Amino acid sequence: MPDLERNKKELSFGRRLARLGAAWRRQVDHDLREYGLTEATWRPVLYLGLLPPPVRQTDLVRVLEIEAPSVARLLDVLERRDLVFRSPDHEDKRSKLVSLTEKGERTARQVRHAVEAVSSRLLHGISSPELLACYSVFERIEANLHKKPPPPPQTVAMR
């Protein structure tokens, strides 16, 4: 790929990735609308259904990549809807443990089904090798995110 074309692709890559991620989540939102769930409420339920229970509230904050006060408010909403319950963490008195209720477990299965249906729909026509190549690129981008950036070039004083 010529350098000019690659530069254009590099400049638009992040925006396109973000746009696709948002569109993907909107598709899941659409499929879960009948259950009264939005992205804000289905994502915690999904993760709580995938992670071994109970989940520390701080771990949920990390996996959701949302500020702790926002997660606490979300959990308040989910608790009022009888989807989750919180209990004290006896190992860490500052933390709470979060678990799904029976209703929450049923909802988590519905969420997982919706996510799988959207994935199936949106990945239709994409071959396994294409999907594996894309996944490999994502892994390398994630690895680059965790690398320390090189130090800025030092300015050399001219005399």
- Higher-scoring residue by pLDDT: 135, 2: 135
Based on its alpha-carbon atoms, the radius of gyration of the chain, rounded to whole angstroms, reads: 21
pLDDT surpasses 80 at 157: no
Per-position DSSP letters for 34-101, written without gaps between them: GGT--HHHHHHHHHHHHSPSSEEHHHHHHHHT--HHHHHHHHHHHHHTTSEEEEE-SS-TT-EEEEE-
Which residues have a Cβ under 8 Å from the Cβ of 27 and sit 6 or more positions away? 118, 121, 122
pTM of the prediction? Answer: 0.81
Q: Give the pLDDT confidence score for residue 1 in this predicted structure.
A: 63
pLDDT surpasses 70 at 155: no
pLDDT tens readout for residues 90-129:
988 888 999 999 999 999 999 999 999 999 999 999 999 9
Q: What is the mean pLDDT of residues 2-21?
A: 88
Which residues have a Cβ under 8 Å from the Cβ of 23 and sit 6 or more positions away? none
pLDDT surpasses 60 at 159: no
Q: Give the pLDDT confidence score for residue 4 in this predicted structure.
A: 83
Q: Give the pLDDT confidence score for residue 3 in this predicted structure.
A: 82
pLDDT tens readout for residues 13-27:
999 999 999 999 999
Q: Which residue has the tokens 């925006």?
A: 15
**CA–CA gap between residue 20 and residue 39 (Å, rounded):** 15
Residue 2's pLDDT band (boundaries 50, 70, 90)?
confident
**CA–CA gap between residue 54 and residue 30 (Å, rounded):** 29
